[in-house]
Structure 1
Amino acid sequence: MQATIGDNIYLLIIFCTGGISLLVVSFVLLFIRNQRKLLASRQQAHDREMAHQKALMHTMLTSQEQERQRIGQDLHDEVGGALANLRMRMGREDPNLFKQQIDEIIQNVRSIAHNLSPPALALFGFSAALEELVAHNGQFILLKQEAAIATDQLPNEVALALLRILQELITNTLKHAQATQVTIRLYLQDQHLHIQFTDNGIGCDIHAGVHVGMGLRNIESRIAMIKAHFTITSARGEGFAVHIAMPL
């Protein structure tokens, strides 16, 4: 009897040991499987992020090249054409009659140089440059600058990037939105500089169309340069809004 009980206990110990071993092995295999899935997921996320960054870089370089082409075209059409016309007229007319045309050429050169590097930014700071940008684009823009002290302390490259972003948003609104009112608000919250850009135009479907997608990608590439993030809200007939948040 005792021998039978001992054998049963021995078998029970063997079964328990085997069951525990099997359970441990199952947990180990499950852990390894989950780790592999996690690593694969991280690798996929990394690959997507790298592809996204590559696309942003491509957009940035394309934007820079387009800007160079635009400047070259402006110089050729506005300045070069005016100078060629002036040269032909000077051969047969009184040179004193050319003052107005020379003044126009000087103004065109100043305008091109201003677009390249806003002088108010270096001389008076971001707030003054922003006010100049708004004034240059018409009275339908309402500016609410509630963070002047913080924005005037931004590094020059960051301030210039923000001006370029706002300049592009304004240009897109003027070209496509058919808007009668634009509001730009800058304020501080949670150690971030917030910029809210809204218009009351026709809006757009931000998920459709190559042109719209490239426009958003171009804005995104500039925002990525200053390590900020943004959200866009728009729909057909409901205007267009961009919210930018940049850590200080």
Structure 2
Amino acid sequence: MENEYQRLDAKFAQSLVDIVAAELNKNVNILDDRGVIIASFSRDRIGQVHEAGARMLKAEMIKEFYVSEEDELHLRGIRNGFNVPIMFENKCVGVIGVTGDLKTAEPYARLAARFVEANLQSNARQEKLVGALKEKEELQSIFLNKIIRVQEEERKKISRELHDETSQSLTSIIVGLRILAEQVQNSGEREKILQMRDLALTTLEAVHDMAVQLRPVLLDDLGLVAAAQKYIANYSKQYKILMNIEFNILSRERFATEVEIALYRILQEALTNIVKHAGATQVWVSLYKKQNKLILIINDNGVGFNLDLFKSTHSRTSLGIYGMGERVSLVDGTFEIKSEIGQGTKIFVEIPL
């Protein structure tokens, strides 16, 4: 199938015709690869067949040719003038003709043909560059998607192991230490055993937190809303930040796995950035559906930052925000961040369902 850039652009052809015709005060025609006039200084000729050009193209004997005044008498739709094939990648894609005597018409026809060929070559290079860039972006997206999927599966596996195996083993140790402490008569030894039990309890809490950070069981079992509510509750308790949430209307509605994971990770990253960099005392989180789209908004009253400066840096924060944007793009969503110094930060995510 012929690529679009291999065809003559009628609009460009007409512009060239007008320029050359105005310079020469002669008529100029450009034919397509069938000999049909697609551009002419005489507008009424557009759409007509140039018989001499059509014959040459059909015979596949591609060459320059001159139409004499005598030829005009027995050939339809032509006028006296010099005609030059327009070549692209060893193929004739059209013909340009300039009316008038040979001496005047020949150099202008050749120059115009070379100009059209140069335009076609430029379009082809641009098309190839655009195609290569698009292919690169598609491959990058596929590669990134695979990395994220593998990463999430590994997180899920480790989280399950921590929750089901490590946590249960630690719980058994804690229970065993408590029973042992009750059986020991020596108060000093009992105190040591209770200290070991407290250390095991602290370790169990750390393991539980690690499992939640990796992949909360609630996210897989009950969905995004339940997991987000639990995460926000723990976050507020740990960092003493007032959280205002609004997504109860969604109840326990489930969404595609990749969408739930993307939004949960964005919420996680955003709240982590707030506690590390924003110095906020309040955060507002909204999650709702609107016209078959799922929308997440995270807003804080923190110190804010300079967006222009942010875009030119490569800090840990910028990488985190870049990662949020990449996650959104993988589910065909839109990601927007607004911030001003002293005015807090707002993150807007919209994902089609």
TM-score (norm 1): 0.69
Alignment of 1:167-178 (within 5 A): 167-178=268-279
Once residues 125 and 54 of structure 1 are traced to their aligned partners in structure 2, the CA distance between those partners, rounded to angstroms, is 25
Contact 1:201 1:237 in 2 (8 A): yes
**Displacement of 1:100 after TM fit?**
2.9
Alignment of 1:3-18 (within 5 A): 10=70, 13-15=79-81, 18=97
Matched pairs, number:
231
SS at match of 2:346: strand
Q: Does 1:116 align with 2:219?
A: no
Contact 1:193 1:246 in 2 (8 A): yes
Gap runs ≥5 in structure 1: 1-7, 72-78
Once residues 231 and 281 of structure 2 are traced to their aligned partners in structure 1, the CA distance between those partners, rounded to angstroms, is 17
SS at match of 1:203: coil
311, 314, 318: which one pairs with 1:213?
318
Alignment of 1:1-248 (within 5 A): 10=70, 13-15=79-81, 18-19=97-98, 22=109, 25=113, 29=117, 32-33=120-121, 35-43=123-131, 45-46=133-134, 49=137, 53=141, 93-94=189-190, 96-97=193-194, 98-138=196-236, 139-145=241-247, 148=250, 152-204=253-305, 205-207=309-311, 208-248=313-353
Contact 1:231 1:242 in 2 (8 A): yes
**Displacement of 1:182 after TM fit?**
1.1
Once residues 214 and 55 of structure 1 are traced to their aligned partners in structure 2, the CA distance between those partners, rounded to angstroms, is 18
SS at match of 1:206: helix
Once residues 218 and 316 of structure 2 are traced to their aligned partners in structure 1, the CA distance between those partners, rounded to angstroms, is 32
Deviations along 1:62-120, whole A, 9 cap, x unmatched?
x98xx8xxx9xxxxxxx9xxx9xxx9xx9x83365243333222222222222222122
- For 2:322, give the aligned amino acid: R
**Displacement of 1:128 after TM fit?**
1.3
Greater relative contact order structure (CA < 8 Å, 6+ sep) = 1
TM-score (norm 2): 0.51
Identity of aligned residues (%): 23
Greater share of residues in helix:
1
Deviations along 1:201-245, whole A, 9 cap, x unmatched?
111242234333322222223323433221111232221111111
**Displacement of 1:156 after TM fit?**
3.3
What value does the CA root-mean-square deviation take over the aligned residues?
A: 4.5
Specify whether residues 175 and 212 from structure 1 end up closer, same or farther in structure 2 by C-alpha distance, changes over 3 A only. Answer: closer
Contact 1:56 1:220 in 2 (8 A): no
**Displacement of 1:135 after TM fit?**
0.5
**Displacement of 1:176 after TM fit?**
0.6
- For 2:275, give the aligned amino acid: L
Once residues 258 and 71 of structure 2 are traced to their aligned partners in structure 1, the CA distance between those partners, rounded to angstroms, is 77
Contact 2:145 2:330 in 1 (8 A): no
Gap runs ≥5 in structure 2: 1-67, 73-78, 84-96, 100-105, 160-166, 168-172, 182-187
Specify whether residues 160 and 46 from structure 1 end up closer, same or farther in structure 2 by C-alpha distance, changes over 3 A only. Answer: closer
Contact 2:228 2:264 in 1 (8 A): yes
- For 1:132, give the aligned amino acid: K
Once residues 210 and 143 of structure 2 are traced to their aligned partners in structure 1, the CA distance between those partners, rounded to angstroms, is 29
Contact 1:146 1:188 in 2 (8 A): no
Largest Rg, 1 or 2:
2
